[in-house]
Structures are given as structure tokens and as C-alpha cells.
Amino acid sequence: MSNGAAVLSEDDIVNGCVLGPHGYVYRPPPPSKQLTIEMQVSVTECKNWREVLAVVENLGDLFDFRNTSTAVHRVAKSSVEAGKAQLAKADHRFPRLLQLLRAKCKDLSAWGLSDATWGMAKMQCKDDEIFTRLSLRAQSIIQDLDPQGLAIVAWSFATVGRRDEALLSAIAVESRKKLDSFGVQNISNLIWANATLGVRYDALHADLLQESLRRLEDFTTQELAIVNWAFTKLAYPVGDEWKSAIRSRVLRLKEYAPSELSMIAWALATRGDYDPDLMAYIARRSMEIMRSFTGQNMATIVWAIATVSYKDDPSIDEFLRMAIGAITARSNEFQPLNIALISWGLAKLSFKAEAAFEALCDSAAAQIDAFVPQNLVQVMWACGTAGYKHEAFLRGAARVAKRTVEDFSSQYLVSSPSAVHLDSILIRYFTTSVVGTGPDPELLA
């Protein structure tokens, strides 16, 4: 109300409300069951996301919350599978679907909430108002969400990077009540969401750990890698029983995706567990599928091997030799972080890899402006340690460092006790290398 006069909100208008004489607001009754069914059929019979959006444009005024959440889910599923999510979001009809969802959020059922939240996350559609309303609705019907719904909502908020502690806390409490009904995929999705957002609930995670131990044989390689990664990311004390059980299960499974192997290696190194046999097993499995590795997969495993200083194992040596070939051939595909971690790892392992350093530095020089100070210093340290000099990279790095010198100082002074040492290394290395006298390896030891 404003000055005694009724005012219709956008939600009111979307929901068919009409402002009548003398401030009277007409609110239409809920659509009939038959109409809801007809609208649902009109959406589910669509063959692709374009057809769904056409239905939204033509019949959206007749949608209830069920039809709306189904439309969101169908558009997301179809467009993502076709690799057209960005195109779908840019479609002139898509804002109408978001408008409908905003207006219907308060009425969503548990099933509809899961569908809508999943769809928004899959498309990376980060509408603040919609996610705020989805959160409030989820908290109000939290007891109605089944294990899959709880896990999907948590996964969705993590996927769009939305740390909603009130919602996540409610999900944690409700999940503990229903843990006996959780599937292993629900467990992996829920703990992945917590780890991704950096939210630790010790009571919940203690329960999830015990449930995971009890049902370890049911986990797929993906679920196994995710759960182990998540406990490590959360710095949750898993204990020797988990470490022994996960090791045994990993060694018995044979077929892994690159991301799964890199997650297992990352967790092993991050925990500081020295297990040459397990790392050698990861190396052997990695060689079988190296053609499918991304730069991130390669960087993570090289980093893990170097972090725990595995040396003199035939499988790991063979992996590194094979990796050198892949790195040399594909370095132009690598992002700055990948280049930094691979360079650092090879240098720390004292692995002879001049061809790889040349390819990595070529790639680094081509995208030098994308480097953050930490990654720049890592590559500098690696080149100095390996005794390798690359003029184009050095000159580019000097230019970036000069432009971002304040970032170097502030970042390292805050985050690293060796801040002053690193900054001085950088300056002295530029001075000696760029002018042609060559780097002094002792400066970078």
C-alpha cells in the first residue's frame, strides 16, 4: 500500500492479479488440476530447450509452480547437454522464464525446488533474487526434502559459488536425521558442496565419514574420489581407518577418469601421506589415459608427486617421462596455474626436462598478462632451480612484475613467511637474467 492505494508488485502481475476499482485486488484462484496437467504435458513433450521457451512465451501466463520448475529443469538439461547453455540464457524468451520462477518460488514443492535449483545451477544462472528466494523456500520446507533433494540443493548452491550458511546449516541438521536413507551419490554431492564452499559441520561430517566407511564398496570411482577429496579439503580428521580403507579400495579399482586420479593424488599429497605404492599406482593408471588429461589433471599429479618428493620409483619415472612428451606437445593449452605447478614440480624433482621448460615458457610468455604474482614467482623459481633461461618469458615477467609490484609485496607479506625472500629473488633474478649475466641458482634455492 502507498498513500492508502493498493499497488501490485511484479510477482502479483505475473501471478495474474488485477487491480480493480477502489483499490480492490483480484487474485485468481489456483489453476485447476486439469490445466496444470495440460501445461505440464506441453512442457514435457518438447524436444529441446527452444521448444520449451516457446511454450513459456505462449502459455507462461497459465503456468503454476510445477510447470515453471519443470520448464527450468528442461531448458537446463537440454541446453547443457547440447553445449548451448549460454545461447539459451541469451534467448529473448529466457527472462520471462526467470520472471515466472521468481514469482512462483514461494509455492515450490520439495520436488519443484530441487528441479529449479538444479536447473539454475547447471546453467550457471546466478540470479541473486531467485537464489535468495530459493533459499528461503528451502529453509521453510526443509523437512519435506528427501536425501536427494537435500544433496541437490546443497550441490546447486555450491556450483554457483553461493555460500548461504543459514541454508547449509539447515541442510546439515536435516541430513543427519535422514542419513540412513542417503544414497552414496547423495553423500558425495553433499560433502562436495560443503568442501567447495569451505563450510565444515563436524557432527554431520563425522556421520558422513562413518556412513562412507560402512558403504565404501558401493562407491563408484567418481564418488570415492570426491568424498576423499572433500574430507581432505575440509581438513577433517579422517583417521587411520579411513586412510587404510580408501587405499585398499583405490588399489582394487582399475578404471578411473583423469579428474578422479588427480583428486586422489591431490588428497594424498595435501594430507602429507607418504605412500609410494599408492602414488605409483596412480602413475600407472594415469599413463593409460594420459591422452585424455587436461592441463589441470597433469599439473595436479605432477604437483602431488613433487610435494611428497617421490623419487626412484620406476612407475613414477616412466610417468614423468611420458608427461614430458605430453607437456611439450600441449603446453599451449595450459593455463597460467597449470604452467606454474608443472614447472615447480619438475624443478623440485630435479627432473631433466629442458624441452618441457622451453614449451612451458613459450606458453607462459604468450599469456604473461594473465599471470598472478604467485604463479609468476613459481615459474621464475622453477627456471632458476632448473638452470633454464627463456628471454621472452623473462622480459614479459619483468614487465608484469613492474606493473604489479605492489601486489607482489602485499600478497606475499600477508600469506607467506618467506615473502621478502621471494620478492628479492624476483628482483635479483630479473636483474641478472635480463641483462645477460645469467641467473644464480643459489638465489632460488
Confidence of residue 25 (pLDDT cuts 50, 70, 90): low
Mean pLDDT value of segment 153-158: 98
Pick the range with the lowest mean pLDDT from 147-161, 336-350, 396-410.
396-410
pLDDT greater than 90 at residue 329 = yes
Pick the range with the lowest mean pLDDT from 219-223, 350-354, 399-403.
399-403
Chain mean pLDDT for the chain: 88
Q: Three cell numbers at 381? A: 623459481
* Three-state DSSP state, 2: strand
If you ran DSSP here, which 8-state letter would residue 30 be given? P
pLDDT greater than 60 at residue 317 = yes
Contact 295, 326 (CB under 8 A): no
Please give the share of the chain, as a percent, with pLDDT higher than 90.
73
Mean pLDDT value of segment 194-204: 97
pLDDT tens-digit profile of 89-124? Answer: 999 999 999 999 999 999 999 999 999 999 999 999
pLDDT tens-digit profile of 239-297? Answer: 999 999 999 999 999 899 999 999 999 999 999 988 999 999 999 999 999 999 999 99
pLDDT greater than 70 at residue 234 = yes
If you ran DSSP here, which 8-state letter would residue 32 be given? P
**Which H or E run includes 406?**
helix 405-415
Mean pLDDT value of segment 376-380: 90
Higher-pLDDT residue of 42 and 419 is: 42
Report pLDDT for 1: 42
Report pLDDT for 434: 43
Report pLDDT for 35: 84
Please give the share of the chain, as a percent, with pLDDT higher than 70.
84
Neighbours of 44 (CB within 10 A): 14
pLDDT tens-digit profile of 30-83? Answer: 778 898 899 999 999 999 999 999 999 999 989 999 999 999 999 999 999 999
Higher-pLDDT residue of 25 and 441 is: 25
Report pLDDT for 362: 96
Using CA atoms, how far residue 22 sits from 3, 19, 262, 326, in Å, is: 13, 9, 67, 76
pTM: 0.85
| Whole-number Å distance between alpha carbons of 259 and 270 | 16
* Three-state DSSP state, 26: strand
If you ran DSSP here, which 8-state letter would residue 47 be given? S
Angle at 84 between CA 82 and CA 89, to 5 degrees: 140
Report pLDDT for 279: 94
Report pLDDT for 10: 65
Residue 151's closest CA among 191, 92, 181, 104?
A: 191
Using CA atoms, how far residue 210 sits from 250, 262, 371, in Å, is: 18, 24, 42
